[in-house]
Amino acid sequence: MESTESRFLRYLQVDTPSDENNPSVTPSTPCQHALARMLCEELCALGLNAEVTENAYVYSAIEANCEGATAIGFIAHIDVVGEPKGYGVKPQVIRNYGGGDIVLPCGRIKASDFPELSDYVGKDIVTSDGSTILGADDKAGVAEIMSLAQYLVNHPEIRHGRVGIAFTPDEEIGHGAALFDLNKFGCKYAYTVDGEEMGEISYETFNGASFKITVNGVNIHPGQAKGRMINAVTVSNEIISAFPADERPETTEGREGYYFIMSVEGGVEKCTLHGIIRDHDSDKFDRRKQYVRRVVEDMRAKYGDRISVEIADQYRNCAEVIAPHIHLVENVRTAMRELGIQPITQPVRGGTDGSQLSYMGLPCPNICTGGRNAHGLNEFIAIQDMEKVVQILLKVVCAYAK
């Protein structure tokens, strides 16, 4: 019987970064197929029926062994972010962490920067070597669901309904639910296992949209530029300055929304600004989209029609879909309390596959994995916390068999 730790360390070393610059293909990177196939094979080795699609979605299930139980499923994503660096992960295990800084081969996780490390003294912590992300988002969720499957198969005496299992590609670029097959999954409710801090149970996400602003400039020799040059870089700077400084990711928290200019590409002749809009409140979200359009309209009034904008909705706050099924949240809270874990119910300052799946008809809150500092070089997770998450999932399965 393979341990959660062993599974996790294996999965971390399979490259799976998704590529936001290749959104028209699923998966956006061919490397994701390798982990999808591996998981399908491991599920089959447990004696389960499993399938991997041509788009790297994995579906399986542990069939019900009692009557009247509710079908419940668990979902995690196999991809990781590509930046700062998602390839070539070399996991490190710090046994019985004694406190203080964690010194890595290529970096250091400073206790002064991450005071929450004091909560992990005595635990076995997994990090990268400091040169890459770790990828606990969401390979921790993958490993936890696989451990749950293994436990249920090895303990047929545990009463349960159908337990659906699915692994998706491209969640990190917002496409994880795009080709999700609800019929193959075959569950009435589900959970994404894609949160972070131990105790998190979330059923409220941002509303999300992306935008692209294109600025076409006029390039003239600088010696002859007066009154004739339109520097797309300078205009782009004006556009960025038009967004409120106190409504950025680095200046907001909780349910506060924001505008985020993520990149500016180009030069004098042409610049492209890529950004996102986030807000938990639907009306405020709509007003934010209108504000982006107004900024562009103001710039067009000054520089002409050489400036354009494209806005695309990405996902919606799933709270209104999940609220009528609040038992999904309450059963997780109960499971956590029984295990001595204090539930933390807070809005996700982002989105999960569950955001889209909920609106597709599969109410889908998000459960913690135990990971911390996702998407960064200082990402870490405790093995003991991952094992606790497996226990939480097991208790939730049992709750729906009563």
Q: What are the backbone dihedrals phi and psi of residue 67, each rounded to the nearest 5 degrees, phi first?
A: -90, 150
Q: Catalytic one among 79, 170, 172, 379?
A: 79
286 catalytic? Reply is no
Q: Which residue has the tokens 């982990």?
A: 35
State the SS3 of the chain: CCCHHHHHHHHHCCCCECCCCCCCCCCCCCCHHHHHHHHHHHHHHCCCCEEECCCCCEEEEECCCCCCCCCEEEEEECCECCCCCCCCCCCEEECCCCCCCEEECCEEECCCCCHHHHHHCCCCEEECCCCCCCCHHHHHHHHHHHHHHHHHHHCCCCCCCCEEEEEECCHHHCCCCCCCCHHHHCCCEEEEECCCCCCEEECCCCEEEEEEEEEECECCCHHHCCCCCECHHHHHHHHHHCCCCCCCHHHCCCCCCEEEEEEEEECCCEEEEEEEEEECCHHHHHHHHHHHHHHHHHHHHHHCCCEEEEEEEEECCCHHHHHHHCHHHHHHHHHHHHCCCCCECCCCCCCCHHHHHHHCCCCCCEECCCCECCCCCCCEEEHHHHHHHHHHHHHHHHHCCC
Whole-number CA gyration radius for the chain: 23
Q: Catalytic one among 171, 204, 247, 279?
A: 171
At residue 321, what is the residue type? V
Residue 347 class from Cβ within 10 Å (0-12 exposed, 13-18 middle, 19+ buried)?
middle
Residue 122: count other Cβ atoms within 10 Å of its Cβ. Answer: 11
171 catalytic? Reply is yes
Residues assigned a catalytic role: 79, 171
